[in-house]
Amino acid sequence: MRLRKVALFSNEYPPNVYGGAGVHVEYLSRALAEFVPVEVRCFGTQDREEPNLRVKGYQPWEEMSRNTDPRFVGATGAFSRSLAMAKDTLDADVVHCHTWYTQMAGLIAAKLWDIPFVLTTHSLEPLRPWKAEQLGPAYHLSSWMERTAIENADAVIAVSRETRNDVFDHFGAAETKTHVIHNGIDLAEYQRDSATEVLEKHGIDPTRPYVLFVGRITRQKGIIHLVDAIPHIDPEVQVVLLAGAPDTETIAQEMKDHIAAARAQRRGITWIDEMLPRRETIQFYSHAAVFCCPSVYEPFGIINLEAMACKTAVVASRVGGIPEVVVPDETGILVDLELERGTFFPKDPEGFSRALAAGINRIARDPALARRMGEAGRKRAEDHFSWRAIAQKTLSLYEALLERKHGM
């Protein structure tokens, strides 16, 4: 059965993108719109129409922030916006949700408008216990919303094989309804930029090697472990951290304290605590000797793919879906990480930081190795992760669900 229209529900959508899920929805919506009309409903004030693509933002119900614990507002506000998204007239053939923030919207819309419900798991709440710092007891509400949606979805998409295994382990979802469709990369946008004016504006010497981090200041991204690795990184290697949007005041202060300790031991550390425009970030990727992803939990790790597309070698944790992206000793180096049982704290944080530094030093000190890995990374991105191919796999899943629903 041919699709007439697809609805995507998401917390993040441009210009409000701060993580991998937002990047995914932005590019997936564009790629899908090449084949079928797409309507995006998201959190924000967006209201625009492009060829084959309609985007509408939703604001929180003010009542959700009155007379309550401020930590609850993220979850209760998401629920209120989900109701608004779901009840608005919907003429799509399928609804596809991203992250727990909108999964209730998808579940309710599927009931109201009698259409199949698909969700993509970009991460799983049981594997992010540090979210309790941010949400307080509302973490139980976000976890319940996620579990309820996964149990009732017509199809669950995992962004990596490892994430699919996590879905089975924590939710018992049927294998027949759980599928792997990787994240992708816009190969025309993410490619090496020879210019250096952005680096120079921020005080980076483009003639000297530097290691780069790009991401939010969260427990998940392992940024503190990389900062603790800095004293073990060759002092000739500059350290550039594009790290902003801290989850909590606690981790923001922790980041400041660890940066201060690292700066007391060496020079050449640049911390840019804001989310830079994509064009500027691509320039940072392009000139880095090595990109580092020290995550303790990473269902896919789209940032590694961005670096690889810009021909930059990668040092990353061997966790989650990262080994499905980074090929060890071909496109980068994977660092083993053993966590304390039942937590996301490394058993040996000092050893993990030193191992990150060792991988960074190996690549940064060997320009020929860095170039070889960078070239291999670009080729891997081209061969396996184009958004057009990922959109086609997603459309095939939608069509299979429609055929099943209509008994074809």
**What is the DSSP track for 108-122?**
HHHHHHT--EEEEES
Cα(257)–Cα(247) distance, integer angstroms = 16
Class of domain 197-384 as given by CATH: alpha beta
Kind of pairing between the strands at 47-50 and 53-58: antiparallel
Q: Give me the mean pLDDT over the 41-50 stretch.
A: 96
Q: For the chain, give every domain's residue range.
A: 6-184+386-405, 197-384
Per-residue model confidence as pLDDT tens digits over 294-308: 999 999 989 999 999
The per-residue pLDDT for 18 is: 81
Per-residue model confidence as pLDDT tens digits over 118-165: 999 998 887 777 777 778 888 889 899 999 999 999 999 999 999 999
Higher per-residue confidence, 2 vs 366: 366
Whole-number average pLDDT of the chain: 94
Per-residue model confidence as pLDDT tens digits over 204-263: 999 999 999 999 999 989 999 999 999 999 999 999 999 998 988 999 999 999 999 999
Per-residue model confidence as pLDDT tens digits over 232-242: 999 999 999 99
Domains 6-184+386-405 and 197-384 fall in the same CATH topology: yes
What is the CATH number assigned to the segment(s) 6-184+386-405?
A: 3.40.50.2000
Q: Of 118, 103, 122, 101, which is closest to residue 301 (Cα–Cα)?
A: 122
Cα(164)–Cα(25) distance, integer angstroms = 19
Cα(157)–Cα(124) distance, integer angstroms = 12
The per-residue pLDDT for 408 is: 62
Q: Give me the mean pLDDT over the 18-26 stretch.
A: 89
Q: Would you place residue 87 in the very low, low, confident or very high pLDDT band (cuts 50, 70, 90)?
A: very high
Q: Give me the mean pLDDT over the 196-202 stretch.
A: 97
Tokens of 127: 């594997």
Host H or E run for residue 376: helix 367-384
Global pTM? Answer: 0.86
